Amino acid sequence: MSVNRIRYTIPATLRHVGEQPKKILWENVKALMVEKYGAENLNRLARESKLGPGSVSRIKAMRTSVGIDVVAKAAKALGVEPWQLLMRQADKRFLTVLQAWNKSGERGRDLLTVAADAAMRVQDDNRKAGKADEG
């Protein structure tokens, strides 16, 4: 008896998650600390996130795993959602947009969504135009 397997292709934006999640987590935490505190400050992050210094040090060391509750507390202290700490960031502007999204309220999110939809339509139009030129 054969078993049909469902093939699932992981979206490009998520492919990196299995590669180096500890490094990505640390890079994002560090970037957000620098943005929020002006420098890397593990003690302040531990205090504001209500985590022990050991938990914050484990994030920095990238040697051992931390639980999702630790990620959630760090994210809250840094003003982002937990999943955002696990995504590779293209640049500092992306982190700023994520923070703006989190702080913007319903009206601000609506405006950001409209802008994102417009950008996606432009990309789709450009892609279609490129295919039309090839044909």
In tens digits, what is the pLDDT along the chain, a chain of 135 residues? Answer: 444 445 445 455 555 445 588 999 999 999 999 989 999 999 999 999 999 999 999 999 998 888 999 999 999 999 988 988 888 775 566 667 777 777 777 887 788 788 888 888 888 888 888 766 555
Q: How far is CA 50 from CA 77, 80, 97, 99, 100, in A?
A: 9, 16, 25, 20, 23
Task: Say what the pTM is.
Answer: 0.59
| DSSP, residue by residue, 100-129 | HHHHSHHHHHHHHHHHHHHHHHHHHHHHHH
What's the pLDDT at 20? 85
Cα distance between residue 88 and residue 11, in whole Å: 13
The kind and range of the H/E element at 58 are: helix 53-61
Q: Among all chains, which residue has been given the structure tokens 């180096």? A: 20
CB 101 within 8 A of CB 112: yes
The pLDDT tens digits of the residues spanning 117-133 come to 888 888 888 888 876 65
Domain extent listing, the chain? 15-87
Class of domain 15-87: mainly alpha
